[in-house]
Chains A and B, each alone.
Chain A
Amino acid sequence: MPLARRHYSALALLRARWAGSRYWRPLWTGRTLKDHYDVVIVGAGGHGLATAYHLARDHGIKRIAILEKRLVGYGNVGRNTTIVRSNYLLPENHYFYEDALRRWGTLSRDLNYNVMYSPRGVVDLAVSEDEIPAMARRGNALRLAGIDAELLDVAALERAYPQLAPRRVRRFPLAGALVQARGGTVRHDAVAWGYARAASALGVDIIEDCEVTGVRSHADVAEGVETTRGYVRAERILFATAGHTGMIGTMLGVPLPIETHLLQAMVSEPIKPFLDTVMVSVFPGHGETYLSQSDRGGLVMGGHLDGFPSYTREGTWDRMQDVVAGAVDLFPQLAGVKIVRQWAGTNDMTMDGSPIIDRCRYDNVFLNAGWCYGGFKTIPASGAACATLVATGTAPDLIKGYALSRFATGHLLDEPGYGPFPVRL
C-alpha cells in the first residue's frame, strides 16, 4: 500500500524543516498493473490525468488505471507555452473555455498543489486597421456571454503597455488590441504533477512505461487493451493521447479528422522583468509570435505550426526564425537576447480546429482529442466533462458540440474559418 500523501500547507513546511527531507513522499507512487479495471485511460497528459481525477472524485469509480507509454508530463502537457484564456468567438467554444478558465482560479486549492495560475492578461495585438472590426466582433460576442474582453485603441495600448511604444516605426504598425485580463499563464508541469498526485491519492493506478498497442473486442464491444506489459481487461476505455491520436485511429480502424503537426516553442536567457502580460501578434502572410516572461526571467515564445505532418518533435529552423523575427519586430529592444532552448510537440490538429470528446468506434471506447495547439488551457474543464461522459455515457451540454458526427453533419466549429485544413497555404 502506498504511503499516504502529505497535505501541503505552511505547517507542513515547518514540520518538514524538523523532520528532514524524508518527510516528503513521492507525488504518485508506482503501482503495479492489475489485470482488470472499470476504466482504462490511455495517456497521462493533462486530459487523461484530469479525467481520471474527476472519475474518481465526482463519480466514485474505484478501479481506474492510466497507462502512459513514457512518463507523466513528457507529452504536450509539459511542452506548451502555458497560456490560458477563454476569448474564443464561437459559443460552443467560449462557454467551454470559460468553464476551464474559472476552474484554473480554484485549481491550486482543489488539488492542494500550487499550479501558479497567473492572470496577467492576454493581449491580442492588431497590426492593421482591418483587424479591428473582427476583434470588436469577437469582443462583443464574449461580453454577451459574460466573458471579459476589452478593445484598446493605440493610445490606450501605449498607456497600458509602455514597453511596446506603439508609435515606434515598425514593419507592422500596431492598430490596437483585444485584451482578456483574466487570461494568463499556468505552470504546465505543476498541472501534470498536481493532477497525478491528486488522482493517485484517490486510488488511481498511474502506470508509466506502458504503451497501449491494440484493442481487443468481441461482438462490437471492446473488452480490453493490449499493452507492452500484457493484456488488461477494461469495462471502458478512454484515449487521451493528444498528438498520437492519429495512431489510435489506425489501431481502431477508423480514419479520424486529424492530422499530426508540430508546434515548437523556445525560451530565451533570463532577463530582468520586462513583460508582465502575454502578447500575441499575427503578422499577415508572415507568421505569428506570442510571448510571455517566466518567473525565472526567460521569454517563452511560440508561433505557427511547422506546417506539415510530422512525429519528429524537432521543429524547423525557418519557423523558429519567424517567431524570433516577430518578437524583435514587436520589441526591438530584445534583438540581442539569446535563445537558450527550443523544442516541439506533436499536435492532434482537427479539420476545424476544435476538439473531439465523444465515443469512437465502440460504445465503450471514448476519445478525448483534437486539442490542436490549444488544449492546455482546457484541461480542468475537459477532465470534468469527459469524466461525466465516460461515467454516465451521456455528454454534458458543455461538450455536446465536440461530437465526432459534426464533420458528417456540417456543424463544424471552425474558429478562424480556414476550411478543412489544419494549416493555410
Chain B
Amino acid sequence: MTSLSCPFCGVRELAEFAFHKTLPNAGDDPLSAVYLRINQVDDSHEYWQHVRGCRAWLKARRNPSTGEVLEMNLLGAVTS
C-alpha cells in the first residue's frame, strides 16, 4: 500500500491519510466500544481521514493480509 484514493481528491500518497479505528464496535458497552477490537484478517472495515488533504472522513474496506484496498467511501455515503 503506497497510496489511497480519496473520493474528493483522487489518488494521493498514503502519508496524507490517517487510520482511526476499525468497525464495528465489539459491543455496545463502554469497554467493548472503546477498547476491544474485532480482529478482521482479510476484510477490515475502518474509519480513515484524509487528514493532510481535504480532511474528509472516510470509510474503508481493506484486506490487512494483502494490503489490498477493497472500497473507499465518504463516511455516511451509501455503499452497495
Q: Which residues of A contact B (CB under 8 A)?
A: 246-247, 249-250, 255-260, 307-312, 314, 316-318, 351, 407-408, 420-421, 423, 425
Question: Which of A255, A309, A421 is within 8 Å of B64, CB to CB?
Answer: A309
Bound complex: CA A23 to CA B5 (Å): 60
Bound complex: CA A326 to CA B14 (Å): 19
When the two chains form their complex, are residues A311 and B35 in contact, meaning their CB atoms are under 8 A apart? no
When the two chains form their complex, are residues A425 and B51 in contact, meaning their CB atoms are under 8 A apart? yes
Bound complex: CA A314 to CA B64 (Å): 11
Other CB < 8 Å A-B pairs besides A316-B14, A351-B35, 12 of them?
Answer: A246-B41, A255-B27, A255-B38, A257-B36, A260-B64, A312-B67, A316-B2, A420-B35, A421-B20, A423-B19, A425-B18, A425-B20
When the two chains form their complex, are residues B36 and A317 in contact, meaning their CB atoms are under 8 A apart? no
CB of A292 to closest CB in B, whole Å:
26
B residues 26-50 near A (Cβ < 8 Å) are 26-27, 31-32, 34-41, 44, 46, 48-49
Question: Which of A246, A308, A312, A318 is within 8 Å of B37, CB to CB?
Answer: A246
Bound complex: CA A318 to CA B32 (Å): 32
Q: Judge if B66 is at the interface, Cβ distance under 8 Å.
A: yes
When the two chains form their complex, are residues B18 and A312 in contact, meaning their CB atoms are under 8 A apart? no
**Number of A-B residue pairs with CB-CB distance less than 8 Å in the complex they form:** 77
CB of A226 to closest CB in B, whole Å:
18
Q: Judge if B73 is at the interface, Cβ distance under 8 Å.
A: no
When the two chains form their complex, are residues A311 and B64 in contact, meaning their CB atoms are under 8 A apart? yes
Question: Which of B2, B41, B66 is within 8 Å of A317, CB to CB?
Answer: B2
When the two chains form their complex, are residues A255 and B18 in contact, meaning their CB atoms are under 8 A apart? no
Knowing A260-B64, A316-B2, the reply to whether A425 touches B49 (Cβ < 8 A) is: yes
When the two chains form their complex, are residues B46 and A309 in contact, meaning their CB atoms are under 8 A apart? yes
Knowing A318-B15, A407-B31, the reply to whether A309 touches B44 (Cβ < 8 A) is: yes
When the two chains form their complex, are residues A256 and B36 in contact, meaning their CB atoms are under 8 A apart? yes
Bound complex: CA A258 to CA B41 (Å): 13
When the two chains form their complex, are residues B18 and A307 in contact, meaning their CB atoms are under 8 A apart? yes
Question: Which of B15, B40, B49 is within 8 Å of A309, CB to CB?
Answer: B40
CB of B75 to closest CB in A, whole Å:
14
30 pairs, A vs B, C-beta closer than 8 Å: A246-B39, A247-B41, A250-B39, A255-B26, A255-B27, A255-B36, A255-B37, A255-B38, A255-B39, A256-B37, A257-B36, A258-B39, A307-B19, A308-B19, A308-B48, A308-B62, A309-B40, A310-B1, A310-B67, A311-B41, A312-B64, A312-B66, A314-B67, A316-B2, A318-B2, A420-B34, A423-B19, A425-B18, A425-B49, A425-B51
Bound complex: CA A302 to CA B27 (Å): 35
Number of interface residues of B (CB under 8 A): 32
Find chain A residues with CB under 8 A from B34 CB: 351, 420
Find chain B residues with CB under 8 A from A309 CB: 19, 22, 40, 44, 46, 62, 64
Cβ-closest chain A residue relative to B66: A312
Bound complex: CA A247 to CA B37 (Å): 11
Bound complex: CA A71 to CA B27 (Å): 36
CB of A311 to closest CB in B, whole Å:
5
Bound complex: CA A425 to CA B38 (Å): 20
Find chain A residues with CB under 8 A from B15 CB: 318
Question: Which of A259, A316, A425 is within 8 Å of B1, CB to CB?
Answer: A316
Across the A-B interface, give the 5 residue pairs with the lowest CB-CB distance, nearest first: A246-B39, A308-B19, A255-B26, A255-B36, A318-B15
Bound complex: CA A35 to CA B24 (Å): 39
Find chain A residues with CB under 8 A from B26 CB: 255
Bound complex: CA A322 to CA B19 (Å): 17
When the two chains form their complex, are residues A258 and B67 in contact, meaning their CB atoms are under 8 A apart? no
Find chain A residues with CB under 8 A from B20 CB: 421, 425
Question: Which of A250, A308, A408 is within 8 Å of B31, CB to CB?
Answer: A408
Find chain B residues with CB under 8 A from A310 CB: 1, 64, 67
When the two chains form their complex, are residues A259 and B36 in contact, meaning their CB atoms are under 8 A apart? no
Q: Judge if B71 is at the interface, Cβ distance under 8 Å.
A: no
CB of A15 to closest CB in B, whole Å:
49
Bound complex: CA A308 to CA B14 (Å): 11
Find chain B residues with CB under 8 A from A407 CB: 31, 35-36
Cβ-closest chain A residue relative to B16: A318
Find chain B residues with CB under 8 A from A255 CB: 26-27, 32, 36-39
Q: Judge if B65 is at the interface, Cβ distance under 8 Å.
A: yes
Find chain A residues with CB under 8 A from B48 CB: 308
When the two chains form their complex, are residues B46 and A308 in contact, meaning their CB atoms are under 8 A apart? yes
CB of A108 to closest CB in B, whole Å:
37
